[in-house]
Chains A and B, each alone.
Chain A
Amino acid sequence: EVQLVQSGAEVKKPGESLKISCKGSGFTFATYWIAWVRQVPGKGLEWMGIIYPGDSDTKYSPSFQGQVTISADKSISSAYLQWSSLKASDTAMYYCATALMDVWGQGTTVTVSS
Chain B
Amino acid sequence: DIQMTQSPSSLSASVGDRVTITCRASQGIRNDLGWYQQKPGKAPKRLIYAASSLQSGVPSRFSGSGSGTEFTLTISSLQPEDLATYYCLQHNTYPHTFGQGTKLEIK
A-to-B contact residues, CB < 8 Å? 35, 44-47, 49-50, 59-63, 95, 97, 99-102, 104-107
| B89 touching A101, Cβ below 8 Å | yes
Number of A-B contacts (CB under 8 A): 53
Task: Give CA–CA (A77, B97) in the complex, Å.
Answer: 25
Contact of A100 among B34, B95, B100 (CB under 8 A): B34
Residues of B within 8 A of A44 (CB): 85, 87, 98-101
- Distance (whole angstroms) from the CB of A108 to the closest CB of chain B: 11
| B1 touching A62, Cβ below 8 Å | yes
| B97 touching A101, Cβ below 8 Å | no
| A59 touching B45, Cβ below 8 Å | no
Task: Give CA–CA (A44, B97) in the complex, Å.
Answer: 11
Taking A62-B1, A95-B43 as contacts, is the C-beta distance between A102 and B87 under 8 angstroms?
A: no
Q: Tell me which residues from 17 to 75 in chain B have a Cβ below 8 Å from any Cβ of chain A.
A: 34, 36, 38, 43-46, 49, 55
Task: With CB as the reference atom, state the residue of chain B lying closest to A104.
Answer: B43
Contact of A102 among B1, B46, B85, B97 (CB under 8 A): B46
Given contacts A44-B87, A61-B1, A102-B49, 19 further A-B contacts (CB under 8 A): A35-B96, A44-B98, A44-B101, A47-B95, A47-B96, A49-B95, A50-B94, A63-B95, A95-B43, A95-B44, A97-B44, A99-B91, A100-B34, A100-B49, A100-B91, A101-B44, A101-B89, A106-B43, A107-B43
